[in-house]
Chain A
Amino acid sequence: MLEIQGLRSGYGDITVLQGVSLNVNSGEIVGILGANGVGKTTLLKTISNLIKTRAGTINYQGKNLTHVPPSKLLNLGIAHVPQGRNIFSKMTVAENLHVGLDNVKKRVNPQEQLDYALALFPKLKERWNQLGGTLSGGEQQMLAIARALVTKPSLLILDEPSMGLAPIIVRSVFNAVKKIAQDGTTILLVEQNAVAALNVIDRLYVMDMGRMVYESQEMNDNELEKIKEVYLGAG
């Protein structure tokens, strides 16, 4: 579904991605794990064209994404939930969700999508008319995911949904992610929290210093040890 080859990008003089390759198949949850600062967020921003590609290709369902502006991605069925739960703080929960819906109205049934997202995150219904900025961290993350979900994406890109959340909330967010995948959405998940991620993902890449250093289909404690080595540099 998504195929990335030799991707390089960065900010100014700094090349962050040093040639990243990966692929995501339809229907799976792919995890990209890595400690902070290894270039995970940069990778996602490059996919969304918020950062310009310097070399390499990004193919989505056979279409080259390199020059598709970020605002057109929704039409292709790609939704990107940015890191740090960038919800619109001075807009209500309802308005936040409608920003997502506004630009895909031709393609989806708004009511159906809203119902689906609210069934997944019933908390949001209680907070319907509250300003986004007044929600708790977990609720903000749910809102951010729901806002992407209402656009009925085929590919959902999540950037570190566990960031800054208490473990119990992380678990409920990841349960929702699992549910979304079961309902047929392909998910590309970037995470630092390996333990939580390993519970839900089908396949994993480990990233370090702008490169993929490890790839695996198995999700067990053995993998965790390997990831630990990469993270803590104990290897």
Chain B
Amino acid sequence: MVEFAQTLVNGLVLGALYSLVALGLTLIYGVMGLANFAQGEFAMIGGFSAFFLVQEGVSYPLAVVIGFAVAGIIGLLVHLLAFYPLRQSNHINMMLSSLGVSLFLVNLAQYLFSPNPQVVKSPLSGESFNLGGIFISQQRVLIVVISFILCLATFLLLKHTKFGRSVQAASLDPDTATLYGVPTKRISFMTFILGVALTGIAGALLAPVYNVYPTMGISLTLKAFVVVVLGGMGNVSGAIAGGVIVGLIESFAGGYISTGFQDAIVFTVLFVVLILKPQGILTKVQGEKV
């Protein structure tokens, strides 16, 4: 029972992180039609910013916030160099470009920071709650709380602000959106930056628990894709719910079947979903016109 609860909690923590990364991914997909394989690298960027800032004596919370900004700024550069020139091209070229960007960022980080994992100290490191035999480190609680707040904030931003409505309109019907004054080009820029910055925060948050290293983003990207496929490409609430589902699957597969095979199990679930319901399990099917 204790083991079950512990697995459940670990799954929720993972799920919260996946939701955050997938949220960025799905926003970008919705507005730009870009399947961004470089998404996880922005978590790496956020993680390393937090690492260096904490090392320089900056307080951890501030480091997290700056991680958000750094990921956003690098996101802007990447968008300008690797995606904006391809806006008229097909989506497959954009996807390949993002694969190239992903490898580039990983190699750059390996060159600049060495491939070894780095430990990030958070004031909450080492502290943990004991709930009837289940140990939860405070950092993990922080991850869940902040992720939840950010997901909620993004959701509210989309629902209740001018920017959010523009993003929704631009992803639903770009032509009509322009007719109502939505500057679709600027919106796609801003969405990309917001999307990768959210992932940057995820990186800064997970750093004290899982350490930071140049290749940390790859598995995050992959999981985020599974989440997004599960929740339906471009579906925001689907991404949040899907994140939790994938986190739980991974945690339980690791705990009860085999840690070695947990990724294979996650991707097998992905296969089944893709084949049976390619629109995602959380999206309603709509008729397709030829």
Which A residues, 98 to 136, have Cβ-Cβ distances below 8 Å to chain B?
98-100, 102-104
* Contact digits for A165-200, partner B, Cβ 8 Å, 1 yes 0 no: 000000000000000000000000000000000000
Chain A, interface residues (CB within 8 Å), range: 20 to 34
* Chain A hits for B184, CB < 8 A: 71
Smallest beta-carbon distance A138→chain B, Å: 19
* Chain B hits for A82, CB < 8 A: 175-176, 179
Smallest beta-carbon distance A176→chain B, Å: 19
Contact of A91 with B165 at beta-carbon distance under 8 Å, contacts A71-B184, A86-B173 already known = yes
B181 at the interface (CB under 8 A from A): yes
B180 at the interface (CB under 8 A from A): yes
* Contact digits for A68-109, partner B, Cβ 8 Å, 1 yes 0 no: 011111110001101000111111000100111011100000
Q: In the complex, are the beta carbons of A75 and B181 less than 8 A apart?
A: yes
A147 at the interface (CB under 8 A from B): yes
Contact of A71 with B183 at beta-carbon distance under 8 Å, contacts A82-B176, A86-B176, A102-B162 already known = yes
Smallest beta-carbon distance A11→chain B, Å: 14
| Complex CA–CA separation, A90 to B184 (angstroms) | 18
| Complex CA–CA separation, A50 to B176 (angstroms) | 10
Interface of B, secondary structure class, is helix
Chain B, interface residues (CB within 8 Å), range: 10 to 19
| Cross-chain contact of A99 among B159, B175, B177, B183 (Cβ < 8 A) | B177
* Chain A hits for B182, CB < 8 A: 71, 99, 102-103
* Contact digits for A38-82, partner B, Cβ 8 Å, 1 yes 0 no: 000000000010100000000000000000011111110001101
B241 at the interface (CB under 8 A from A): no
| Cross-chain contact of A147 among B173, B178, B180 (Cβ < 8 A) | B180
B166 at the interface (CB under 8 A from A): yes
Q: In the complex, are the beta carbons of A69 and B178 less than 8 A apart?
A: yes
* Contact digits for B163-191, partner A, Cβ 8 Å, 1 yes 0 no: 00110110011011111111110000000
Q: In the complex, are the beta carbons of B165 and A95 less than 8 A apart?
A: yes
Q: In the complex, are the beta carbons of B165 and A98 less than 8 A apart?
A: yes
Contact of A99 with B166 at beta-carbon distance under 8 Å, contacts A71-B183, A88-B172 already known = yes
Which A residues, 9 to 34, have Cβ-Cβ distances below 8 Å to chain B?
none
Q: In the complex, are the beta carbons of A73 and B172 less than 8 A apart?
A: no
Contact of A50 with B175 at beta-carbon distance under 8 Å, contacts A71-B182, A88-B169, A99-B166 already known = yes
Contact of A102 with B179 at beta-carbon distance under 8 Å, contacts A88-B169, A88-B173, A91-B168 already known = no
* Chain A hits for B173, CB < 8 A: 86, 88
| Complex CA–CA separation, A90 to B173 (angstroms) | 11
| Complex CA–CA separation, A91 to B165 (angstroms) | 8
Highest count of chain A CB atoms <10 Å: which of B175, B176, B179:
B179
* Chain B hits for A74, CB < 8 A: 180-181
Which B residues, 150 to 164, have Cβ-Cβ distances below 8 Å to chain A?
159, 162
Contact of A71 with B181 at beta-carbon distance under 8 Å, contacts A86-B176, A88-B176 already known = yes
Question: CB-nearest residue of chain A relative to B168?
Answer: A91
Q: In the complex, are the beta carbons of B172 and A89 less than 8 A apart?
A: yes
Smallest beta-carbon distance A159→chain B, Å: 11
Contact of A70 with B168 at beta-carbon distance under 8 Å, contacts A88-B173, A102-B162 already known = no
* Chain A hits for B169, CB < 8 A: 88, 91, 99
Question: CB-nearest residue of chain A relative to B175?
Answer: A50
| Complex CA–CA separation, A70 to B185 (angstroms) | 12
Smallest beta-carbon distance B211→chain A, Å: 40
* Chain B hits for A50, CB < 8 A: 175, 178-179
Highest count of chain B CB atoms <10 Å: which of A48, A50, A73, A98:
A98
* Chain A hits for B178, CB < 8 A: 50, 69-71
Q: In the complex, are the beta carbons of A73 and B168 less than 8 A apart?
A: no
| Complex CA–CA separation, A148 to B179 (angstroms) | 9
| Complex CA–CA separation, A90 to B183 (angstroms) | 20
| Complex CA–CA separation, A170 to B177 (angstroms) | 25
Q: In the complex, are the beta carbons of A100 and B168 less than 8 A apart?
A: no
Q: Which residues does A use to contact B, with CB under 8 Å?
A: 48, 50, 69-75, 79-80, 82, 86-91, 95, 98-100, 102-104, 147-148, 151
28 contacts between A and B (CB under 8 A): A50-B175, A69-B178, A70-B178, A70-B179, A71-B178, A71-B179, A71-B181, A71-B184, A72-B181, A80-B179, A82-B179, A86-B173, A87-B176, A88-B168, A88-B169, A88-B173, A95-B159, A95-B168, A98-B165, A99-B165, A99-B169, A99-B180, A102-B162, A102-B165, A102-B166, A102-B182, A103-B180, A151-B181
A-B complex: 6 closest residue pairs judged by Cβ atoms: A103-B181, A86-B176, A74-B181, A102-B162, A70-B178, A88-B172
Q: Which residues does B use to contact A, with CB under 8 Å?
A: 159, 162, 165-166, 168-169, 172-173, 175-184
